[in-house]
Amino acid sequence: MAVFGGRKDAMEVAAPLGGRVLGAMCELVDYDRKGDERFESGLLKESVLMLRLFGVYGKFFERRFLDESHSFFLRFAEERSAAYGLKDYIIACERLLQREGERCDQYNFDSATKRQLRDDAHRILVEKYSAKLLDSGNVGRLLEANDVESIKALYDLLRLSNIQKQLKGPWEEYIRTMGSAIVGDTARGEEMVIRLLELRRSLDIMIRDAFGKDEVFTYGLREAFGSFINDKKNTAAWNTGTSKVGEMIAKYIDILLRGGLKTLPKTLLSDSKDRADAEMSGIASTGDEDAELDRQLDNGLELFRFIEGKDVFEAFYKRDLARRLLMGRSASQDAERNMLSKLKSECGSSFTHNLEQMFKDQELGRDEMVSYKEWLAGTGRTKGGMDLTVSILSAAAWPTYPDMRVLLPKDVLEHINSFDAYYKSKHTGRRLAWKHNLAHCVIRAQFDRGPKELLVSALQAVVLVLFNEAEGKGGPTDGVLAYQQIAQTTGLPGPELQRTLQSLACGKIRVLSKHPKGRDVKETDTFTVNKAFTDPKFRVKINQIQLKETKEENQDTHKRVAADRQFETQAAIVRIMKSRKTMTHSQLVAEVINQTKSRGAVDAADIKLNIEKLIEKDYIEREDGAYVYMA
């Protein structure tokens, strides 16, 4: 039994035997590591016990065991990292570390041994191979596969060596790559915001479930979003000159406010964990639709927060809001108000001031109509059963609309003139400009299969009522109107008339028939009423074209935003020069960009042009290679 003996001479004999024991123990561990069936659990346990009894555990065993483990780890890491992809490498490391830990406990290894073993394993498996673990391509693939489990394992692994924060690099790079691809994808522009939100959502879940809500990653996410959303290279494909993302977010919110929660993909809706979080922080906690809508609006706004160049959003939001109000397309007044207050805290009251005025105009308009109708009843004049509702809009608060020249039917015109006169006598000094292309109405129509109510735009109505007079003349042209005749009687300009006729005779719902048939309206075409028209509903909407933004309108809005930016740039230059008196070119340009960035900055060359315009107007002067403000 004197294997390790106490006496000096015995030691000399014993050493080789001791060496064999130690070697055999390490071999046992090695069997266990490799899953070799020659492993004997009991033997290892008793051997350790024996070493402890002799008090030589620390003296002989520990060092040797650690040395052998060290080379094992080296081999392991080398083999596995070469053979496996990141995911499998992570799993392998995770499993190895777990088993090493368990073995130490199970066989009563010293806790100091366990600690040293673990540290060594971390150094070799994690730190030495951190390049592999932190490779953005590898990490990106896991993120793209939305592999929360692996990312979590990776994060935990890196945390063992306290280098988990370095994941921020690949994390941001992944977000930038994905985001840039979405923002620059002109083929799927309609889905841009939904896709961005989906990306955002999966990343948020990643932070929550894989990164233990580590703030470093929340911060990195924000940085990366801000960078790709504002990268001019990404949005250059759209050719709008201003931020396309701003426009798309405005449109997304428009869809939501028109009641489009249903159109959202499931992935975007909150899950139970979100709701629990929301409940904890005391905000809209219930799972009902209003609360969900509120959360979705917040999500949209959160994207909006990243945008430098908020003016584009504002312009489109205003147009969309106007359309919702004028066409009665808002799903909920509450949601509109709610959104307005969100915008107020986001963009400031100077922006929401006009929007609030729009809501106010609506209310005032309703009151105005009530008193007009009372007055009309009082005078004893009635307008032949035709009902008129007028929305009075303050020109300054609403988007600008072009004046549309159209010849209205006589009775409508009389009614309008009557209101016009009433209004002007009531409010002296005010001027009314009628925007006929915004008007819509309900008309009754008699078809062979019964009467229908048609919801049409004013322009559609003007065309339709012409057929009342065309009928009953007898002969082959009875009820037939040629394009030129319609053009003359309505006075509508070409493109507008074509759009209108197309919507009545070539769309899904055809109350007119075009001869000859075809998708495009030509100047030689003739039209008749489609007497055979039928529809399952009594009230039929055909004024959709009025709701849709035309390409021209879209370009126009972008152009106006771009023009406004030039003015705001000049205003900023004057403001800065007034307070700083003298500045070099690069200082001034930097400061102008800084001040205009959030609403929308122009590039340096444009800033220079605007500086020159101001020099010409004697606001500033060049002196000794710098600019000087002139009072």
Partner 1 sequence: MFNSLRGRSSPTAHTAEDASTNKDKGESEDDSIGVESIDQYTRLLGVNMYNFEFFVLCEILQPGTLGQISRKEFVNGWKNQTRSPGVPLEPSMDEHKKFIRSRIQQLPRDPVLFKKVYRQTFMSGKESHQKAIPKEVAITFWDELFSPTLRPWKTAKVDWLDAWERYLADNWKRSVNKDMWNQTLEFAIKTMEDETLSFWTENQAWPGVIDDFVVWCREEGVVASPKKNADGMEVDE
| Displacement of CA 395 from its chain's centroid (Å) | 31
- Single out the residue of 99, 615, 619, 631 in contact with partner 1 (rule: CB under 8 A): 615
**Closest distance to partner 1 from the beta carbon of 599 (Å):** 24
Q: Which residues pair with 444 in a beta bridge?
A: 453
Closer to partner 1 by CB, 197 or 589: give it.
589
Closer to partner 1 by CB, 221 or 601: give it.
601
Closer to partner 1 by CB, 198 or 606: give it.
606
Structure tokens at 266: 């499931």
Query: Taking contact as CB under 8 A, which single stretch among the options 1-9, 169-177, 355-363, 609-617 is the one that binds partner 1?
Result: 609-617
206 phi/psi in degrees, rounded to 5: -60, -45
* Alpha helices, DSSP H, located in 258-288: 272-280
- Single out the residue of 6, 448, 625, 631 in contact with partner 1 (rule: CB under 8 A): 625
Closer to partner 1 by CB, 442 or 615: give it.
615
515 phi/psi in degrees, rounded to 5: -125, 125
Alpha-carbon separation of residue 32 from 44, 63, 235, 336 (angstroms): 10, 19, 58, 67
Q: What is the DSSP letter of 602?
A: P
Q: Does 561 bind partner 1 (CB under 8 A)?
A: no
Footprint (CB under 8 A) of partner 1, residues 569-608: 584-586, 589, 604, 608
Distance of alpha carbon 318 from alpha carbon 430, whole angstroms:
24
**Closest distance to partner 1 from the beta carbon of 582 (Å):** 11
Structure tokens at 82: 């070469």
Closer to partner 1 by CB, 86 or 589: give it.
589
One-letter identity of residue 131: A
Burial of 353 (0-12, 13-18, 19+ CB in 10 A): exposed
Closer to partner 1 by CB, 354 or 587: give it.
587
Closer to partner 1 by CB, 9 or 623: give it.
623
Q: Does 550 bind partner 1 (CB under 8 A)?
A: no
Query: Taking contact as CB under 8 A, which single stretch among the options 51-59, 343-351, 370-378, 614-622 is the one that binds partner 1?
Result: 614-622
Q: Does 627 bind partner 1 (CB under 8 A)?
A: yes
Query: Taking contact as CB under 8 A, which single stretch among the options 106-114, 438-446, 572-580, 622-630 is the one that binds partner 1?
Result: 622-630
Residues 191/136, Cβ–Cβ less than 8 Å? no
Q: What is the distance between the terminal CA atoms of the chain, rounded to a whole angstrom?
A: 105
| Displacement of CA 465 from its chain's centroid (Å) | 44
x/- string (CB under 8 A) for partner 1, residues 320-349?
------------------------------
Q: Does 383 bind partner 1 (CB under 8 A)?
A: no
One-letter identity of residue 559: K
Total number of residues binding partner 1 (CB under 8 A)? Answer: 16
- Single out the residue of 284, 487, 609, 630 in contact with partner 1 (rule: CB under 8 A): 609
Following CA atoms 500, 505, 508, 511 in sequence, which dihedral angle do they give, to the nearest 10 degrees? 100
Closer to partner 1 by CB, 466 or 615: give it.
615
**Closest distance to partner 1 from the beta carbon of 627 (Å):** 6
Pairing of strands 539-541, 526-529: unpaired
Closer to partner 1 by CB, 385 or 625: give it.
625
**Closest distance to partner 1 from the beta carbon of 235 (Å):** 23
What is the edge-to-edge ordering of all strands in the sheet holding 440-447? 440-447, 450-457, 539-541
- Single out the residue of 82, 328, 616, 631 in contact with partner 1 (rule: CB under 8 A): 616
**Closest distance to partner 1 from the beta carbon of 619 (Å):** 12
521 phi/psi in degrees, rounded to 5: -90, 125
**Closest distance to partner 1 from the beta carbon of 232 (Å):** 18
Residues 164/110, Cβ–Cβ less than 8 Å? no
Nearest to 311 by CA among 9, 595, 598: 598
Closer to partner 1 by CB, 70 or 608: give it.
608
Closer to partner 1 by CB, 106 or 587: give it.
587
Distance of alpha carbon 123 from alpha carbon 40, whole angstroms:
29
Residues within the interface to partner 1 (CB under 8 A) = 584-586, 589, 604, 608-609, 611-612, 615-616, 621-622, 625-627
